[in-house]
Every structure is written in structure tokens, then in C-alpha cells.
């Protein structure tokens, strides 16, 4: 998987390992946190290894998948959690920042999806990460939402391109979720307001999102394919 060093990604690592899967914890730069996530799995009796990979670098991602095949015998589930989010009104958005974010969110998703399509075994699952913000049209989210709209399109089309392979392809689209990245720069009033958007009147947790990934990766989710699953407590 990618983006496994912190936040939602780290919780997904723990959940998939608890489900009995061996996990390759992909990370971009936070080596210590990624190795902590892998060590936690091994200390609990599971199998995991941390591997650095820029998701937009096709050679690095190929090496990530090769590690999974070499260490654990093959690839059955790919959870692509890695992403970047920069928020600013469209009129002021720096185009270099746009290119960097889209390199990770769009190119990175395509690169990981290519390797998944080539290497997943029958019965496998690819789970990409979108965002509920795509449908909410919230100011300052424009370039980020555009990148996640691209993830939606790539996911649904790849599900159809893999006809006959017995591989499911779905996207999870979280709503506001309590992570360090989400809390950074937000005052309590903003956090309280976002907590009340969903009818359940709370923010999501990484465990909430990891449970959806677990469902899609397991046998219970085999009839769900080519879908965008909005895990947001009913916010939209």
C-alpha cells in the first residue's frame, strides 16, 4: 500500500494486517513513521516491511510491487492512500503548487493503478482514495477536488478495463477525518463546524475509513466494483 506512515494510511496498515494480510508499507519521506507502522505489525505477529517510493515515479512504484512479490509471493490487495492537499481560492493558486499536487494525486494514482493492473492476482482488489469534497463544491478546494475527480474517473474506467480478470477496483472517498493533517491550521470553531456537517454529528476517524478498505479488500466486498464509496457519515 502507499501512504502508510501516518493518519488514515497507518490505520489501514494495521487493519489489513489484522485481517491476515502481509503488508508492504509504502512511504514518501517519513521513514521512521513507516518503519514504526511495519514494526507494530510484526510485533503483533504479522508480516510487514516498509519501502520508500515516490508514487509518481514509475520505477520506484515498480520496485515497491516487486518487493511485495519477492517478500510475500504476490500481490492480492493494493490500497493507494498517498496524496497531497493544498487549499486556496482558484484565483490565487500557484501553478507550480498545482503541478506538484496533481503529480502526486493524478499521475501517482495512474502509476500505482498501472502496476496494480499488471500484477494483481485473480481475486484481487485495488482501492484508490478520492474525497467526498468532489461532490461538495466547497470554496478553496478547487484544484484538490479536481485531482480527486480524476481519481474517480480513473478508478471507474479501470474497473471496466479489467473485465474478466476477477479483480475489483473501487475508490474510498472520506469526508472530514481526524488526522494530524486535518487538524493542522484549523481552530476549534472550524473543527466544531465541520463536525456538525454529517447527520451523525461527528468527524470520521481513521478506523472508520480503514474498515471500509477492509470490506472492499475482503471476500464480503467482492460484488462491489467500479464504485466511489463516500465514507462521510452522510455529509452528502
- The catalytic residue positions are 144
Greatest C-alpha distance within the chain:
51
Q: CA 104 to CA 56: how far, in whole Å?
A: 6
Between the CA of residue 92 and those of 105, 127, 132, 157, what are the distances in Å?
20, 33, 23, 32
How many of the other CB atoms lie within 10 Å of CB of 99?
10
Residues listed for the chain:
236
Contact 22, 220 (CB under 8 A): no
Amino acid at each position: 500500500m502507499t501512504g502508510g506512515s501516518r493518519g488514515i494510511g497507518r490505520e489501514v496498515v494495521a487493519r489489513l494486517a489484522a485481517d491476515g494480510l502481509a503488508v508492504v508499507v509504502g512511504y514518501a519521506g517519513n521513514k521512521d513513521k513507516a518503519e514504526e507502522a511495519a514494526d507494530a505489525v510484526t510485533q503483533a505477529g504479522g508480516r510487514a516491511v516498509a519501502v520508500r517510493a515516490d508514487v509518481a515515479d514509475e520505477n520506484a512504484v515498480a520496485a515497491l510491487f516487486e518487493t511485495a512479490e519477492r517478500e510475500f509471493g504476490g500481490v492480492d490487495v493494493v490500497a493507494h492512500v498517498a496524496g497531497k492537499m493544498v487549499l486556496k481560492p482558484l484565483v490565487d493558486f500557484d501553478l507550480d503548487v498545482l503541478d506538484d499536487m496533481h503529480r502526486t494525486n493524478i499521475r501517482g494514482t495512474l502509476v500505482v493503478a498501472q502496476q496494480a493492473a499488471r500484477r494483481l492476482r485473480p481475486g484481487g482488489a485495488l482501492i484508490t482514495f478520492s474525497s467526498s469534497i468532489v461532490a461538495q463544491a466547497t470554496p478553496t478546494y478547487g484544484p484538490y477536488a479536481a485531482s480527486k475527480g480524476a481519481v474517480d474517473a480513473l478508478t471507474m474506467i479501470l474497473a471496466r478495463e479489467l473485465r474478466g480478470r476477477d479483480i475489483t477496483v473501487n475508490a474510498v472517498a472520506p469526508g472530514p477525518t481526524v488526522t494530524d493533517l486535518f487538524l493542522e491550521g484549523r481552530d476549534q470553531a472550524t473543527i466544531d463546524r465541520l463536525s456538525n456537517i454529517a447527520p451523525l454529528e461527528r468527524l470520521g476517524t481513521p478506523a472508520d475509513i480503514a474498515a471500509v478498505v477492509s470490506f472492499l479488500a475482503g471476500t464480503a466486498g467482492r460484488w462491489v466494483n467500479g464504485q466511489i464509496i463516500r465514507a462521510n457519515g452522510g455529509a452528502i
